[in-house]
Amino acid sequence: MNKQRKVELIEHQVAGPDPGVVVRSSTRLRRWTAVGSRLARNAAIDMRFGRPLAAVYFRNRDQSNSDYRELRSLFVGRLVKGDVLVDVGCGAGRVINQWLRMGFDGPIFGLEVDTQRAEATRRRLRRRCNVSILTGDAVANLPSDGTVFFLFNPFDELTMRRFSKRILEIADEVGNEITIIYLNCKHLSPFRSDPKFAIEEVSPQHKGTAIGQRSAIITLSKAV
């Protein structure tokens, strides 16, 4: 090793690691710590309703694992006594857990196309007499007395058009005011194209984390 190289190594040792590397490492550590804390918090809440659900979502990557804290921020102030709640594409049922956790004792429907997934959720929540899990085409199975519909991007745009059309039919048939809480809202055009729907886009509650998802609150009044 030549003399200049020795000097460079000594200078590096004296100066310490690159500050940029330290900052990136620290940011990464904080991010993973936050993720670990979130997973632990969610798992603890899951256990109150039978079993942890994270493994279900890890095995089925087509599903999304909603965070209880973000769900609560979407639901607080938007659910009232007398509502009929519908989780469109309920999967393992974490959204239903959150509604039960908030003390909601009115009718709750979970719609799930996957037969095995629906049966597992139905079995886990079998002691909750106000919860019904329906299997099959979610649009065809939409309860006509539903007033609040939750979606976590369950459809492509074509199916979303079917969904919005069916919501309009339900409003005509029953006359209820309807609220659609649409998390990770990728297909808003079927609602934007019809002036009967009012759309309020909501910014992510926890920016910079895996749970920061754009959402929309879509309302349809009785006068349609």
pTM: 0.79
Q: In the chain, what are the domain boundaries? A: 66-220
Task: Tell whether the model's pLDDT for residue 210 goes beyond 70.
Answer: no
Q: How far apart are the first and last CA of the chain?
A: 83
106 versus 222: the higher-pLDDT residue is 106
User: For the residues 85-95, what does the mean pLDDT come to?
Assistant: 95
CB 154 within 8 A of CB 121: no
CB 157 within 8 A of CB 185: no
Rounded to whole angstroms, the Cα distance separating 167 from 165 reads 5
pLDDT tens digits for range 150-194: 999 999 999 999 999 999 999 998 888 999 999 999 999 999 999
Question: Which of these ranges, 64-68, 85-89, 214-218, has the smallest mean pLDDT?
Answer: 64-68
Rounded to whole angstroms, the Cα distance separating 19 from 25 reads 10
Task: Tell whether the model's pLDDT for residue 73 goes beyond 50.
Answer: yes
Task: Tell whether the model's pLDDT for residue 7 goes beyond 60.
Answer: no
69 versus 33: the higher-pLDDT residue is 69
* Angle in degrees, CA 155, 164, 187, rounded to 5: 45
CB 178 within 8 A of CB 147: yes
Q: Which CATH superfamily is domain 66-220 in?
A: Vaccinia Virus protein VP39 (3.40.50.150)
